[in-house]
Amino acid sequence: MRESIAQSLTELTARYPKLEPLHAQLAEAFRMLKDCYERGGKLLVAGNGGSCADAEHIVGELMKEFKRKRPLDAALRQRLAEIDPVRGPRLAESVQRGLPAVALSSHPSLNTAFLNDVGSEGMFAQQINVLGREGDVFLAISTSGNSRNIACACVMAKAKGIQVLGLTGKTGGVLRELADLALVMPETETYRIQELHLPVYHWLCMALEEQFFAE
CA dihedral sign, ordered 24, 30, 33, 37: negative
The confidence score (pLDDT) of residue 159 equals 98
Average pLDDT over residues 134-151: 98
Query: What pLDDT, in 10s, does the model give residues 155-183?
Result: 999 999 999 999 999 999 999 999 999 99
User: Could you give the CA distance from residue 88 to residue 104 in angstroms, rounded to a whole number?
Assistant: 31
pLDDT at residue 71 above 80? yes
Listed by start position, the domains of the chain span: 3-70+98-213
pLDDT at residue 215 above 90? no
Q: What angle do CA 102, 70, 127 make, to 5 degrees?
A: 5
User: Under CATH, to which class is 3-70+98-213 assigned?
Assistant: alpha beta
The mean predicted confidence, pLDDT, of the chain is 97
The predicted model scores a pTM of 0.95
CB 151 within 8 A of CB 172: no
Q: Please report which confidence band the pLDDT of residue 1 belongs to, taking 50, 70 and 90 as the band edges.
A: confident
